[in-house]
Structure 1
Amino acid sequence: MPKQFQQIGDLAVLHRTVRVFLDHPQIDKVHIVIGPDHGAVCSEILRSLDVQPFIIGSVTRQRSVHNGLQAIRELQPRNVLIHDGARPFVSADLISKVIDALEHNDAAIPAMRIAETVKLVHDGRVADTIDRTALWTAQTPQGFRFEAILDVHQKTTTSGRNDFTDDASMAEWAGLSVMVVDGERTNVKLTTAEDLADADRRLRMESWLAQGDIRVGQGFDVHQFGAGNHVTLCGVRIPHDSGLVGHSDADVALHALTDAIFGALGEGDIGVHFPPSDPQWKGASSALFLQAAAGKVAERGGVIAHCDITMVAEAPRIKPYVHAMKERLGELLGLTHDRLAIKATTNEEMGFIGRREGMVAYATATLRLPFR
């Protein structure tokens, strides 16, 4: 899988890159040049974004860019920015600086001064130390007057030159003046597997820091047994010689967990949001209550990090259904099994639980919320 299609954080590299340009107020249209076999994967990755029809590239970057320029010529753009799909951390500010520089220049690129000492090396040995004073490393997006860069590409094609590593070097070869604006150290091109791993760690760390308000909520619920032939626990139907009595489906485990989530949010309990006096909740699936609580977390820009449920009953046996319960909770909350704990124990035949008159569930929910 090419690097631009790899996922970092929760999105593909290319999706992140394209979205920055789509969101920029000075960008009118975004066109993507792709390989001949990449149409399906690009369509999937970018399905939620308003991009133009894909342009098929060629065997080299230089020829692919030429194809892209030819394809948009009929739009008669004044300026064009050419950007690497594998630079997802380009900022809106950097894009603006390049665009602004085109007001009085035919070409403009972001670049960084070289801070390290530069060595000329032959056969593994230092041959010389290069004066780094005037040395810069080029980045993208590189901006051009459209007609000027298209003319440059056509000239290089005619002359048989296909060894340019970026569009600015082609512009220099053709005699255009290329303006430099200060680039950004974060505007890195993801090239290796290590680059992708570093980018993924960076995004996850930023996400964790942004959601650094960690909350833990506690929930408790109890229901008595009554007539019936099954109980519903964590959304899973379990055969039993009795049912649980309640206004809804009496899913004691989901009720406790819902209360834990509402508690972590400081939003009261399940009865506040779904009062048993309201007839619309009679016989309702407790999954609705849990999803409503999870929706409150999402509205606050948070995530549910972990859920822990303990059920206490002499019967039915819970352990054979734990996997199915985790599957159902995972569907409802979007969590993997390692973020869900479901346990069960008896009350050693003591009290109302020991007499099999009812069962209890305890739950904790750990949330990550943005600081407010």
Structure 2
Amino acid sequence: MSVAALIVAAGRGSRAGEGIPKQYRLLMEKPVLSRTLEAFLSHPKVQKVLVVIHPDDQDLYAQSLAALPQELIIRLLPPAFGGETRQDSVRNGLEMLEPLAPDRVLVHDAARPFVNAALIDRAIDAANIWQAAVPGIAVTDTVKVIDADGKVETTPDRSMLRAVQTPQAFDFATLIAAHRKAVSLNVRSFTDDGALAEWVGLAVHVFPGDAANIKLTHPADFTGAEQRLKGQPMTYVTRLGTGFDVHAFGEGDHVWLGGIKVPHDKGVLAHSDGDVILHALTDALLGAIADGDIGTHFPPSDPQWKGASSDRFLAHAAGLVRARGGKIDHLDTTLLCEKPRLGPYREEMRRRIAEICGLKVEQVSLKATTTEKLGFTGRSEGIAAQAAATIRLPEVSDES
């Protein structure tokens, strides 16, 4: 069976920060794409390799090839040019491969330079058994399915979930036919070929992936990759962020605090649900990564956030920390009000905050104090909260 590898390298990689597209950035003096290509060009079962690039990147592509051992270049075909979407780019590459009529094709992201020979072997074996197969690794975090308002609808059994990677493996004729059907119906929304195969009715199987086969997406990923290639552990810098929020009382029979609906003889005046604890924590996390405040990400002038559940705001901020390769160490909040009392709800709130942020309960602290009848809180005109968040971010050198 003849095998071709199609490397998708036409993206702009904007989430990786400013500069040239991420697939051309250097890792230990060698472009990311060069490392990815070397894995496939040196594999004995891969006969041909084709890269899909952006038309503006031809010079960068040539520089990546110059970093490769020249004896490997003979397996490399002239590049194809990408389209408006990843799906378009893959289809363009498949069309260029068709005259060679390979039996199997492996589709791989250029920004996964740690793909190894064993994973490529498993992909080829899977393609020889099934028409469509994707590598996957077990999901270690609990996953929630939510509705448009951020309310949890269901919690899937994570033992049945897999995080999908590349190289994805296919019968060539079957995959190109699926792409042609999609374009004929003007369906162009697929971000991976496994999903496209599912759409046309193929049975897509999952074979064991590799946790080390990471995709370089954010600046922190490059820092970690450099450390890995140097054989050094990742080093982190500790950051502290603070947040404060206040809302006036109004008509109502409850307030939202710490993600919990608390009975009260008043409500709060707010654009969202007015949860001062979650709002303060959100700002604390955003402050720790120096990424604006809650109003920057969820402006009150935007009607979509009217009445929104504040757990969405906190989950977003926690996700931004993790997107940068960061770790949340501790969250601490103090509630300032005369009433309602925090005590009866403290532990439930701690559990809810931990769940939103993917933490252990012992990483969440909640306290409350009155202001001795002083100020607006002392007069029971409103409620306030102040918060602190301690996180660790990958340490980035001045040269990176």
Alignment of 1:1-372 (within 5 A): 1-49=20-68, 50=73, 51-121=76-146, 123=149, 126=152, 128-205=154-231
Superposed CA offset, 1:164-187 (max 9, x none): 110011111111122211101001
State the shift of 1:124 in Å.
5.7
Residue type of the alignment partner of 2:220: E
Residue type of the alignment partner of 1:54: P
State the shift of 1:128 in Å.
4.1
Question: What is the distance in 2 between the residues matched to 1:39 and 1:206?
Answer: 34
Question: What is the distance in 2 between the residues matched to 1:48 and 1:194?
Answer: 24
- CA distance 1:102–1:127, change in 2 (3 Å): closer
State the shift of 1:107 in Å.
1.4
State the shift of 1:201 in Å.
1.3
Superposed CA offset, 1:214-266 (max 9, x none): xxxxxxxxxxxxxxxxxxxxxxxxxxxxxxxxxxxxxxxxxxxxxxxxxxxxx
2:48 aligned counterpart, secondary structure: coil
Does the aligned pair in 1 maintain the 2:145–2:154 contact within 8 Å? Answer: yes
Question: What is the distance in 2 between the residues matched to 1:76 and 1:118?
Answer: 41
State the shift of 1:126 in Å.
4.7
Does the aligned pair in 1 maintain the 2:30–2:67 contact within 8 Å? Answer: no
Residue type of the alignment partner of 2:79: F
Does the aligned pair in 2 maintain the 1:9–1:203 contact within 8 Å? Answer: yes
1:144 aligned counterpart, secondary structure: strand
State the shift of 1:125 in Å.
5.8
- CA distance 1:177–1:45, change in 2 (3 Å): same
Q: TM-score, normalised by structure 1?
A: 0.53
State the shift of 1:22 in Å.
0.5
Gaps of 5+ in 1: 208-372
Question: What is the distance in 2 between the residues matched to 1:108 and 1:97?
Answer: 10
Which of 32-41 and 170-179 deviates more?
170-179
State the shift of 1:129 in Å.
2.6
Question: What is the distance in 1 between the residues matched to 2:102 and 2:232?
Answer: 37
Aligned residues: 207
Superposed CA offset, 1:266-315 (max 9, x none): xxxxxxxxxxxxxxxxxxxxxxxxxxxxxxxxxxxxxxxxxxxxxxxxxx
Does the aligned pair in 2 maintain the 1:39–1:54 contact within 8 Å? Answer: no
2:227 aligned counterpart, secondary structure: helix
1:110 aligned counterpart, secondary structure: strand
> Identity of aligned pairs, percent?
42
Q: TM-score, normalised by structure 2?
A: 0.50
Report the equivalent of 2:249. Answer: none
State the shift of 1:130 in Å.
2.8
Does the aligned pair in 1 maintain the 2:106–2:169 contact within 8 Å? Answer: yes
Question: What is the distance in 1 between the residues matched to 2:150 and 2:204?
Answer: 34
Residue type of the alignment partner of 1:57: G
Does the aligned pair in 2 maintain the 1:110–1:180 contact within 8 Å? Answer: yes
Radius of gyration: which is bigger? 1
1:133 aligned counterpart, secondary structure: helix
Residue type of the alignment partner of 1:78: D
Superposed CA offset, 1:50-98 (max 9, x none): 1221111111100000000001110111111000000000110000011
Question: What is the distance in 2 between the residues matched to 1:65 and 1:121?
Answer: 31
Does the aligned pair in 1 maintain the 2:34–2:67 contact within 8 Å? Answer: no
Report the equivalent of 1:254. Answer: none
Question: What is the distance in 1 between the residues matched to 2:125 and 2:112?
Answer: 20
1:156 aligned counterpart, secondary structure: helix
2:206 aligned counterpart, secondary structure: strand
Question: What is the distance in 2 between the residues matched to 1:132 and 1:83?
Answer: 25
Gaps of 5+ in 2: 1-19, 234-400
Question: What is the distance in 2 between the residues matched to 1:45 and 1:109?
Answer: 27
State the shift of 1:48 in Å.
4.4
Question: What is the distance in 1 between the residues matched to 2:201 and 2:144?
Answer: 29
Report the equivalent of 2:275. Answer: none
Report the equivalent of 2:15. Answer: none
Does the aligned pair in 1 maintain the 2:144–2:152 contact within 8 Å? Answer: yes
Residue type of the alignment partner of 2:129: H
Question: What is the distance in 2 between the residues matched to 1:6 and 1:12?
Answer: 5
Question: What is the distance in 2 between the residues matched to 1:105 and 1:153?
Answer: 18
State the shift of 1:103 in Å.
1.8
Question: What is the distance in 2 between the residues matched to 1:132 and 1:205?
Answer: 32
